[in-house]
Amino acid sequence: MDKNTTNKRIIEIQRQREKIIDLIREFFKQRGFLEVQTPILTKGMSTEPYIDPIKVEFFDDKNKKYEGYLITSPEYNLKKLLSLGFPNLFEITKAFRQKESFGGWHNLEFTILEWYRVNSNYLDMMKDTEELVFYLVNKLYQRDYLIFQNQKIDLSLPWQRLSIKKAFLKWAQIDLDKNKTLRDFKKTLKKKDYARNINLKSFDWNDCFYLVFLNEIENNLPKDKAIILYDYPLPQAALAKRKNKKSFYAERFEAYIGGIELCNAFSELTDWREQLKRLKEDQKIRKKLHKDFIPIDKTFIDALKSKLPPLSGNALGVDRLEMLLLDIKDINDLLLFPINKMFKCNKS
């Protein structure tokens, strides 16, 4: 392919990306959502153990040093706005995460769409999610399916739904109800012969979960349709509301299209005491993993203390969605200035 042809294709991809962003805005504004802009550089940051932020140092005019983070998600700031009485809102912004591979579906800097619906739960958010994607596909192609890498992916509504518990039983023959403790989970993995090539000694419960999920669940998700996996175990709850006081599961879901993870959504946890408890547990896990200490954002806890209404929220990877919609299998072919090219890194 000659240079002119290559450049024309790059420009055409960007025109299509622009159209997708316009359609996302159109979708939410038709439904009465308010678009907002929150900071990319922030003082408070999520303490999630398995997400690594980029720390930033900067100085004022008197050479006083400050420290902050590039956001991994705008979630905290959006919830602070909701605590002030903001209505349903959405944001399309840049986010940053350390230790991402440079290529494939990942880039250190990426575009994220987050939206929050007041007086709702994750069932309402499931409907929002599938309707958004269906809206985009219908507007772009006037049909109810995608063609991605020669695979037809059915997006007709409603999408298939499967609980995490049933997914583990179906594809891994593991009953999560019988593996609530780390000790039991490790015993199960040893019986399944995982310990033959892997030292499970340092594993925590989440390590065990992901070992099974990535090897036996994710690989078996349908490639010809969209599916929503829901009701994740409490160790996977993050900022999600527990199903009930005694439940081992939380109201969290992830949507997959053709086997590709697209988003992460919750019925949002609004109990500040429970949230503070979880953030402190996150800090302990980060310490155990020898990761940087991240202080708890007290202004976020104060926002929860204001007695937020029931909320549901979703964080969706816009670049991934664009790749699926435009049939692009490597993010380096989507972005104008991917990290891989700017820093001449080896592709993952």
Nearest-angstrom CA–CA distance, 48 and 285? 9
Is residue 231 within 8 A of residue 185, CB to CB? The reply is no
Tokens at residue 75, please?
A: 């979630």
Could you identify the residue written with the tokens 């019925």? 267
In this prediction, residue 346 carries a pLDDT of 59
Q: How far is CA 236 from CA 151, 208, 229, 248, in A?
A: 31, 12, 13, 10
Give the whole-angstrom CA distance, residue 115 versus residue 75. 9
For the entire predicted model, the pTM comes to: 0.94
Q: What is the pLDDT of residue 281?
A: 92
Q: What is the CATH number of domain 3-158+295-342?
A: 3.30.930.10
| Residues in CB range of 262: below 8 A, 6 or more apart | 129, 133, 254, 255, 256, 316, 317, 320, 321, 324
**Contact status, residue 200 vs residue 189, Cβ threshold 8 Å:** yes
- In the chain, which residues have pLDDT < 70? 1, 346-348
* Cβ pair 135, 27 in contact under 8 A: yes
Q: What's the one-letter identity of residue 86?
A: F
How many C-beta neighbours within 10 Å does residue 171 have?
A: 18
- Which of 18-29 are b and which e, b meaning 16 or more Cβ less than 10 Å from the residue's Cβ? eebeebbeebbe
**Cα pseudo-dihedral 22, 27, 32, 34, rounded to 10:** -40
Report the C-alpha gap between 138 and 217 in whole angstroms.
30
Sequence ranges of the domains in the chain? 3-158+295-342
Whole-number pLDDT of residue 1: 65
Residue 284: both structure tokens together: 């302990």
Coarse DSSP helix, strand, coil percentages of the chain, rounded to the nearest 5 percent: 40, 25, 35
Calpha distance 108→292 (Å, rounded): 18
- What pLDDT score was predicted for residue 3? 78
What are the tokens at 273?
């005491």
Report yes or no: 20 and 325 within 8 Å, Cβ to Cβ: yes
pLDDT of residue 348: 45
Q: Are 253 and 267 in contact (CB under 8 A)?
A: no
